[in-house]
Structure 1
Amino acid sequence: MRKTALALAALAGLALAGPAAAEPYLLDRSHAHVSFEVSHLGFSLTQGWFRDFDAEVDLDPEDVEATRVRFVIDAASVDTTWEPRDRQIRSKDFLDVARHPQIVFESTSVTRTGGETAAVTGNLTIRGETREVTLEARLNKLGPSPFDPSLTVAGFTVSGEIDRTEFGINYAAPAVGAVVAIEIQLELSPAG
């Protein structure tokens, strides 16, 4: 579930191309999605997402390593399309949202890995436990919006995996998968 936080970190990789100086970028929440997938007993994959999240992103296309990302997810906003399961995920069995309402990712480094990819490493905090994670960020497209050519838009896909047991979320593991796949779709534009 911390996958979403990781996805925001991957946005830092968007700096692979963009404006000439480091500047804050704003998240277009209507075109952003934080999702996860986990095995259920080996029979199927359960998918879900977080409905409420935000990001602070400073991108510098000329100096990718100067890019910084902070991603915050409202843990209670988890949605797997089945409310009884969502209640359990919010409970002490999993996210314990009453005591740990946020999932937070803060980047510590961004390293270019290809022409349109970057590794985003940072500290992910879930349920009060902080671990270093690395996600892959892929720049989907960077350029002017076809609806408003004065607006630059950067689109990214951020992906990776986390082991939930490293964050103290041990309930039903490994029958219910310990490894959680994360994917984040993001669109960002300069704040100015």
Structure 2
Amino acid sequence: MRYFLRIVVLTFFCILGPGVLLAAEKASGQWDIDPEHSSIGFRVRHIVGYVPGVFSRFSGQVEYDAAMPEKSQFYFLIDSSSVHTGVPARDEHLRSPDFLDVERSPRMIFSSKNVVREDGDILVVTGDLTIRDVTAEVRVPLQVLGIAGHPVKDKMPGVRVLGLHAAFSINRLDFHVGSEEWTRMGLMGEAIDLTIDMELLQR
């Protein structure tokens, strides 16, 4: 099922382009990202402070059943060129081969391989993260915030909403993002702190 899901997601992404909410056929327990109520943010150390940013275009699908969370599957695509820090010149530099190299690597991909339930509402999701030309395994502590019916029932009849939150770090050098020399200079840290807040819809 995981490989079928990958094929479906990639097919829709290639046809519709990045940033479009995926419209694959829904199955029981399948949820699609609501991009208007979701965000993917990051921050990186700069000298003695932090520079924040976001990726504004992304899509993906989740298979989640509260009764069997260990069987969940997560698949996300991020449009690398949608990086935004509020400074156009810096954003262009981040899109360049020095960092994300968006011409050669237009998207980042996360595909889960294993889910373990920890105490309470925390799932530890292990999966493959691809950035640029590198695919590496990462562990993401994911908090399930809950499931609720959409309160605007006249416009969203029968729609249920799933809330997810994750905060974790990766090493940019593991993915060939930026130079190690900048760390030695004290200009830029190696850790990229990621914060993901998502609402997903099931109809």
For the superposition of Structure 1 and Structure 2, which TM-score range results when normalised by the shorter chain?
A: 0.7 to 0.9
C-alpha contact (below 8 Å) 1:27/1:186 kept by paired residues: yes
Task: Name the structure 1 match of 2:32.
Answer: 26
Pick the structure with greater CA Rg: 2
Q: Which runs of 5+ in 2 are unaligned?
A: 1-26
CA distance in 1, matches of 2:183, 2:91: 17
User: Which letter does structure 2 place at the counterpart of 1:159?
Assistant: A
Query: What SS does structure 1 have at the residue aligned with 2:158?
Result: coil
Q: Which runs of 5+ in 1 are unaligned?
A: 1-20
User: Which letter does structure 2 place at the counterpart of 1:167?
Assistant: F
CA distance in 1, matches of 2:61, 2:159: 18
CA distance in 2, matches of 1:150, 1:54: 22
User: Which letter does structure 2 place at the counterpart of 1:85?
Assistant: R
Alignment of 1:120-139 (within 5 A): 120-139=125-144
Task: Name the structure 2 match of 1:40.
Answer: 46
Calculate the TM-score normalised by the size of structure 2. Answer: 0.79
| 1:104-153 alpha-carbon deviations (Å, 9 max, x no partner) | 00000111112211111100000110010011111223211222273211
Task: Name the structure 1 match of 2:5.
Answer: none
Aligned length: 170
| 1:74-104 alpha-carbon deviations (Å, 9 max, x no partner) | 0000000001110110001100111111100
Task: Name the structure 2 match of 1:173.
Answer: 183
Task: Name the structure 2 match of 1:104.
Answer: 109
C-alpha contact (below 8 Å) 1:90/1:97 kept by paired residues: yes
**Counterpart check, 1:187 vs 2:199:** yes
Task: State the superposition RMSD in angstroms.
Answer: 1.5
| 1:30-59 alpha-carbon deviations (Å, 9 max, x no partner) | 100000011001x21100000110011111
Shift of residue 156 of structure 1? 1.3
Task: Name the structure 2 match of 1:14.
Answer: none
CA distance in 1, matches of 2:99, 2:32: 30
**Counterpart check, 1:73 vs 2:78:** yes
Alignment of 1:116-155 (within 5 A): 116-148=121-153, 150-155=158-163
Q: Percent identity?
A: 32
Calculate the TM-score normalised by the size of structure 1. Answer: 0.84
Higher relative contact order (CA 8 A, sep 6+): 1
Shift of residue 161 of structure 1? 0.4
